[in-house]
Amino acid sequence: MLSKKLQEAINEQINMEMWSANLYLSMSLFFAKKGFSGFSSWMKVQSKEEMEHAYSMMDYVIKREGEAIIKSVGDVPNAWASPLDAIESVYKHERHVSELIDKVVDVAAAEKDKASQDFLWGFVREQVEEEASAKDIIDKMKLAGDNGIFYIDAHLGQRK
């Protein structure tokens, strides 16, 4: 059974995962409008992954006899100065989410809930990959310059 404190922390993270999904869906629309179908597709996949994180956390709370609570997600941005600005926003956001997940792990540790710590470590590891992926795209965009963005767009469109 989850402690009340840990249940609240996981529910807050569920809400953040849903907000992240909406952010990336908004970015997908931004990229589609600009004609970058590969970036748009990549962001849709990212949005789906964030919702899968939320679903996984909801299921976990229920399995541990807790109550998963869906709260208002809130508005997300819908425009960025450039494709690079959007991806830099992704990187910044993923770093923020990593900090939030670390805090949930800290709550699980303080509550001496080893099962939850183990469950949450999967998200910690995934965050490392998500941050690295966003940083890699930024690095490639900066190296490729304005003309190389079309190659990157085509490459990102291959993600399923």
Q: Please check the confidence at residue 146 and state whether its pLDDT lies above 90.
A: no
The whole-model pTM stands at 0.94
35: containing domain: 4-156
Q: Please check the confidence at residue 160 and state whether its pLDDT lies above 90.
A: no
Name the packing angle between helices 83-110 and 4-34 (round to 10°).
Answer: 170
Q: What pLDDT score does 62 carry?
A: 98
Q: What pLDDT score does 72 carry?
A: 92
Average pLDDT over residues 140-151: 91
Total structural domains in the chain? 1
Question: How many Å is the maximal CA-CA distance in the chain?
Answer: 55
d(CA 10, CA 108): 10
CATH number at residue 47: 1.20.1260.10
Q: What pLDDT score does 150 carry?
A: 92
Q: What pLDDT score does 33 carry?
A: 97
Q: pLDDT, tens digit, for every residue of 85-136?
A: 999 999 999 999 999 999 999 999 999 999 999 999 999 999 999 999 999 9
Which has more confidence, 145 or 101? 101
Contact 7, 67 (CB under 8 A): yes
pLDDT, averaged across the chain:
96
d(CA 10, CA 60): 9
Structure tokens at 132: 């690295």
